[in-house]
Chains A and B, each alone.
Chain A
Amino acid sequence: MNMKLKGRVWVIEREGKLIDDIDTDMIYHNQYLHITDKKEMAKYAFSNLEGWKDFYEKAEEGDVIIAGENFGCGSSRQHAVDCFLAIGIKAIIAKSFGAIYKRNAINSGMAVLECSSIDRAGLKNGDIIEINLLNGEIKKDSKTIAKAKPMSIVQTNIYKAGGLFSYAKSI
């Protein structure tokens, strides 16, 4: 698994400010919990988040999500990660995560980085960034614009294996 990623960003903001406390119902509403086909889940990513309901139409494989504090707080539903994986979202960078959400994401092989200064990195929708998962460095136009907390060794190993189940087979 490549520890350096490059992708186009979606800055999940409202009125110029990263939205904090985006909960799992805003990411993936409970009315779609019965869906088991992952491809189908993609359609409902952020479909209950004011201003971002058309995310599925805009986002593309390889994109990166930039979010505020406490991203993914709320319930333990895996769908809230799966819907992004189904689109092909490569990484989520947030100021902080809901604890369960962060676990779910890592276990599913999504790259997640905590970066308290990401709101000051001057990112706009469509910017291309490079992320180094090993040291947490985030670059734009080859310049370092923010430094995230690197993932721990266990988390990195799970990510590298492509998720918890594949990791389990490797130990």
Chain B
Amino acid sequence: MSSVIEKIFQMHTREKVEVGNTIWIDIDLRTARDFAGAKVVENLIENYEGNYVDDAKKTFFTFDCNAPANTIGYANNQQICREFARKNKIKVFDVNRGIGSHVVIEEGLAYPGVTAVGTDSHFNILGAIGAFGQGMGDVDIAFVFKTGKTWFEVPPTVKVNFIGIPDGKWSAKDLALLCVKELKNKVLGKSIEFYGDILEKLSMAGRITLSSMVTEMGGIVGFIPPNKEIISFCEKRSGKKIEPVYADKDADYEKEIDIDVSNLEPLIALPGNPANVKRVSELPYTEINSVFIGSCTNGRTEDIFSVSKIIKGRKISENVMMKIVPATREVWQELLEKGVIKELFSAGAIISHAGCGGCASGQIGMTGEGEVQVSTSNRNFKGKQGAGDTYLASPETAAVSGLLGYIGGIDEYEVEG
């Protein structure tokens, strides 16, 4: 019987869905961002005459990489997309709106069971709400804009069972880093389904954190079965009655992998490789220069809220620059209304407008040669966030390290309720 991806695909194709088959599937939601959007437009104009989009209501641009643009290249690209969008009646979520993969959830455009694509390799984040999302290149996306379809090789599914519930201090990011470490090379090109009691402890933000790092695990997409909270959020936002897609009880998994999480504790990925994961507690004394909190992995209200709980009323180390970038405008507003922005500011943080900034080469700057940064993002390949060395950790670890001036664990601080 069928896994989640097989079921979602079957709802979107007339062909028979079988692992290994290459099939054509209908795409409900088609997006391009500022990074490759201009190339998508160019491809469309070069290859098709006049009639560029299959369905403008299902097609969107989301500007998040470089928002507002701080290079002329990006500014030009955004302008090319805007003009194309206006002519073809496509909605643009412009530079003020935030990270595209989050915006489509907030706007109720993505919900359990849909198929969605974008020019963003973390578009599989949508697995967090039980939807199929996939990042693709500009040729693929142009084709989807034009036809509403794409081809896909049906991947095998791996079932990941989390065993136990940790009782110490841990966060969704620690779980995600553990998975990158444990699953790297075991799920390459596969669909993942996550199960286990620990998932009930994860809110939507936590689920987004876990699903966002499936790309670093090497997987195609990682599905978390939607619970009541997710379903009611998506119903409210989309205005639709939602029938989530769950796997059949006897679904055919390629394999099952158990991961013991009962001793989960704060983890950190060393510079250069997201899978080189260590316990924060076993790291030697490491001084840092900067902290980046944000990205599609950890830029939600809850993430930034937990930072504020740690740093409020205290001062960030004077040797550290702490940069905070909320994922979306909606997150910004929530933080503003809850008074969190003020706490962060008073502690010494720099707060930028919503977007990817700091993760991509965006509006809040990059690291310089020799600079050591703790980042809540998802990738620390050389060059991605600048020329410096980037460690990946949870918002809590990042916050504590910002106060200390060196990488430190949450145990070093008392946090109020």
Contacts and interface: CB of A to CB of B under 8 A. Distances in A.
12 contacts: A23-B381, A30-B383, A33-B73, A75-B121, A76-B121, A100-B135, A107-B143, A154-B24, A163-B139, A164-B140, A165-B139, A168-B147
A76 B139 contact: no
Interface of B: 21-24, 35-36, 39, 42-43, 46-47, 71, 73, 119-121, 135-140, 142-143, 146-147, 151, 153, 155, 185, 188-189, 218, 220, 361, 379, 381-384
A23 B215 CA distance: 12
Contacts of A155: 22, 151, 153
A103 B141 CA distance: 11
Given A100-B137, A103-B140, A74 B121 contact: yes
B383 A48 contact: yes
Interface hub of B73, B121, B220, B383 (most chain A Cβ within 10 A) = B121
A75 B188 CA distance: 15
A152 interface: yes
A86 to B, nearest CB: 15
Contacts of B119: 76
Contact of A99 (B23, B24, B189, B382): B189
Given A107-B139, A152-B153, A30 B384 contact: yes
A34 interface: yes
Interface in A17-62: 23, 25, 29-31, 33-34, 36, 48
Interface in A98-142: 98-100, 103-104, 107-108
Contacts of A25: 381-384
B139 to A, nearest CB: 4
B218 A70 contact: yes
Contacts of A154: 22-24, 151
A104 B383 contact: no
Interface residues on chain A, size class: 35 or more
B317 to A, nearest CB: 30
Nearest to A158: B151
Given A70-B188, A164-B143, A76 B218 contact: no
A103 B383 CA distance: 24
B386 to A, nearest CB: 11
A48 B384 CA distance: 12
Interface in A64-80: 69-70, 73-78
Contacts of A152: 21-22, 153
A78 B137 contact: yes
A104 B151 contact: no
Contacts of B361: 30
B344 to A, nearest CB: 29
B36 A76 contact: yes
Contact of B47 (A23, A97, A165): A165
Interface string A133-171: 000000000000000000011110010000111001000
B121 A108 contact: no
A69 B140 contact: no
Given A75-B121, A76-B136, 19 more contacts: A25-B381, A30-B383, A30-B384, A34-B71, A74-B381, A76-B120, A76-B135, A77-B36, A96-B188, A98-B218, A99-B155, A103-B140, A104-B137, A107-B137, A153-B22, A154-B23, A155-B151, A165-B46, A168-B147
Contacts of B36: 76-78
Contacts of A81: 137
Contacts of B24: 154
A33 B153 CA distance: 28
Nearest to B216: A73
Contacts of A100: 121, 135-137
Nearest to B138: A78
Which of A70, A76, A103, A158 counts the most chain B CB atoms within 10 A? A76
A158 to B, nearest CB: 8
A29 B138 contact: no
B352 to A, nearest CB: 20
Given A78-B36, A154-B151, A164 B381 contact: no
